Amino acid sequence: MNKQILFGLIIVLLNVFFAIFAPLIATHEVDEMDFFYIFAKPGEGGHILGTDDYGRDIFSRLVYGSRISLVVGVIAVGIGAMIGTALGIVAGYFGGFFDALIMRFMDALLSFPYVLLAIAMMAVLGAGLFNAMLAIGIVMVPSFSRIVRSAVLNVKNEEFVLAARALGASHLWIIFHHILPNIVPVLIVYSSLNFAGAVISEATLSFLGLGIQPPTPSWGSMLAEAKNYLQTAPHMALFPGLAILFTCLGFNVLGDGLRDLLDPRLKS
């Protein structure tokens, strides 16, 4: 197997492993406070990565935090991919007025810088896990719909599609039997790349206080707390950031490798 894909896959699977077996891997309870070891440095008092301002074990919080990242990633990418695919297929397959209307609207959404639109939506919807997933998912819709639309345009005029139509197949049948299976590779690649985007976006929203609220351990909210103790406890800021960095790196490397493998035309 391609080394790059393998490297990405290992990081991703490691994350999934941490998320599933969090209670077994974590050395402490998530909200357990060790009063005698507040701001413990890494290794002190049996805390592998030290403790935070409440004496909570950073390693354990990071392990549980991977659950939040993965859940937000899966749901947000799911929302973005589903709505984006539906819109992209309608625009690409039927063309004409729908195409123009949908794509102009998607262009407009793309004119808003990615993070900013999510932040603005959170400002209006209010903070919280559910709204964060929704906002991040919606922000992804335009890029998914664009990519799906162009993939559909490539498939639409293939002979097997024309043949199916000549045989009297309905549009719906063609979409489900011929169009969708052909855009799956594109969807896999973009889901992986967008997953990295979702993890960063969640961290960003939580860092600004708009996403997951304390005391739930999210990597972003851990960084928000760490920001106040950069002088006293720099390790509080170091580790959650590394967790985000490596998780995103894993998904980016995986997506990048898959792109080269599955769709040479998309190689940029």
**123 - beta bridge partners?**
none
Rounded Cα gap, residues 247 and 241, in angstroms: 10
Those residues with Cβ within 8 angstroms of residue 100's Cβ, 6 or more apart along the chain or in another chain:
none
Question: Which residues, numbered 210-239, are part of the site for another protein (CB under 8 A)?
Answer: 210, 220, 223, 226-227, 230-231, 234, 237-238
User: Is the Cβ of residue 89 or residue 199 nearer to another protein in the bound state?
Assistant: 199
User: Residue 66 Cβ, how far from another protein at the closest point, in Å?
Assistant: 15
Whether 142 and 109 have beta carbons less than 8 Å apart is answered as: yes
- What value does the CA radius of gyration of the chain take, rounded to a whole number of Å? 22
Binding of residue 25 to another protein (CB under 8 A): no
Q: Which of 29, 44, 107, 158 binds another protein (CB under 8 A)?
A: 107
Those residues with Cβ within 8 angstroms of residue 40's Cβ, 6 or more apart along the chain or in another chain:
34, 47, 50, 51, 55
Question: Which residues, numbered 117-136, are part of the site for another protein (CB under 8 A)?
Answer: 117, 119-126
User: Residue 250 Cβ, how far from another protein at the closest point, in Å?
Assistant: 8
Rounded Cα gap, residues 13 and 250, in angstroms: 9
Question: Which residues, numbered 75-104, are part of the site for another protein (CB under 8 A)?
Answer: 104
**Burial class for 23, CB neighbours closer than 10 Å (0-12, 13-18, 19+):** exposed
**For the CA atoms of 202, 204, 208, 211, what is the dihedral angle to 10 degrees?**
0
User: Is the Cβ of residue 64 or residue 251 nearer to another protein in the bound state?
Assistant: 251
User: Is the Cβ of residue 17 or residue 246 nearer to another protein in the bound state?
Assistant: 246
Rounded Cα gap, residues 174 and 180, in angstroms: 9
User: Residue 203 Cβ, how far from another protein at the closest point, in Å?
Assistant: 5
What mask, x for binding another protein by CB under 8 A, covers residues 185 to 214?
-----------x---x--xx--xxxx----
Encoded amino acid at 194, one letter: N
User: Is the Cβ of residue 77 or residue 196 nearer to another protein in the bound state?
Assistant: 196
User: Residue 222 Cβ, how far from another protein at the closest point, in Å?
Assistant: 10
User: Which residue ranges make up the site for another protein (CB under 8 A)?
Assistant: 104-105, 107-109, 111-117, 119-126, 196, 200, 203-204, 207-210, 220, 223, 226-227, 230-231, 234, 237-238, 240-241, 244-249, 252-253, 256, 267-268
